Amino acid sequence: MRGNDPKNPIRNKIITEQAARLMYEIITGQAISPESSQEMRYYLNRINMMQDGSWKNIDPDQGQGHFNPIKGFFGEYFANSDPKNIKEFASKAGWTSDSRSEVAYINDGQVAYILAVFTQDATYAQNWQIFPKISELVYQKMQQIHLKYNTP
């Protein structure tokens, strides 16, 4: 939260559609320039920390600079299942005492999609299972759709 009035905080003005569009432009090399898009994609990449397990060692309670972009977010589902199956996972997540949001690009080599969910309630902010579960359900549905249309 930004601002001095907790009852009237200054919040982000972006919506999920805009976040998804920006992620799309980053992934396709259209955000500012191909070079800038590649640099942003590098900074949003979470696949290495998912595959080597280093995300488990990030303790957000240690203070500023220790935000864990996997735990309690979309990537936790993949990190706890088989992260070697995911070719690319790029995400931007946010969390406050009364909000939780994330936009992510997921690519397993067969299905690739962008998922964006923004919530605005302390119930969601404090629920560490909901975003991984949303990620699991969407991924499973995307796989079903892929099999339906790509099986002879």
Q: Reply yes or no on whether the pLDDT at 12 is more than 90.
A: no
Q: Is residue 77 within 8 Å of residue 132, measured between CB atoms?
A: yes
- Candidates 3.40.10.10, 3.20.20.100, 3.40.710.10, 3.20.20.70; CATH matching 16-150: 3.40.710.10
45: left (phi over 0), alpha (psi -120 to 50) or beta: beta
115-141 pLDDT per residue, tens? 999 998 999 999 999 999 999 999 999
pLDDT tens per residue, range 40-79: 999 999 999 999 999 998 876 665 567 899 999 999 999 9
Tokens for 44, please give them: 């949003």
Q: Please name the residue that has the structure tokens 């500012």.
A: 32
Whose tokens are 């977010």? That residue is 73
